[in-house]
Amino acid sequence: MKTKVILWSLAGLLCWTQPLSAQDIPSASWQIETALMAVPADYRASARVLGYNPSGELVTLKQGDGPYIALADDPANPRFSTAAYHKELEPFMARGRALRAEGKTAPEVFDIREAEVKAGTLPMPDKATLCILTGEVEAGTGKILNPFTRYVFYIPYATGATTGLPTTPAPPGHAWIMDPGTHRAHIMITPPKQ
């Protein structure tokens, strides 16, 4: 249960923003640089980057035609976290952001997207990757210390039986499937910390 709460919180980080003042928004160049850290190296140059303008609105900071979209750190959240996901996940991610902006809770977002995916009104790829990078921002330099990346592989409606993976959290370095049998079924892989 604790793992689900943590992962719901992570989903909230990817889907929710709040207005900020201009002085709270990091420079576009820093947002782009740190967001791209979450993108696999082969795709960084061609990735699109979403980040925050001086008004605190989520906008495109860097155009890209590659397979990845990177999401800059949310300056409203004290914990540093960036993400990168396959562009086919954008309708799913954008819908989550829109629902959060309406004030929906994480369980409500899950249920609404589940119904919309099942109805065929919300596109969901049959497989796609999400990479989440966390770390600490060094005061004064903006350098990201102790970066750590987790990987999520969406495979909607997969189960433990169809994949052979456990459905309970596995130790770092091992894979397991979360939300089995739902639109949000995904393989979680957390590498061991160095």
pLDDT tens-digit readout, 64-78: 999 999 999 999 889
- Residue 194 falls inside a structural domain: no
Mean per-residue pLDDT for 25-29?
96
Mean per-residue pLDDT for 6-23?
44
- Residue 143 falls inside a structural domain: yes
Instruction: Give the three-class secondary structure for 172.
Output: coil
Q: What is the pTM of this model?
A: 0.83
Assigned token pair, 73: 């750190």
The residues near 120 (Cβ < 8 Å, ≥ 6 apart) are: none
CA neighbor of 182 nearest in space, from 121, 122, 99, 117: 117
Q: What is the pLDDT of residue 190?
A: 79
CA atoms within 13 A on the CB side of 88: 10
- Residue 184 falls inside a structural domain: yes
| Structural domain total, the chain | 1
Instruction: Give the three-class secondary structure for 67.
Output: coil
Domain span at residue 157 reads: 2-189
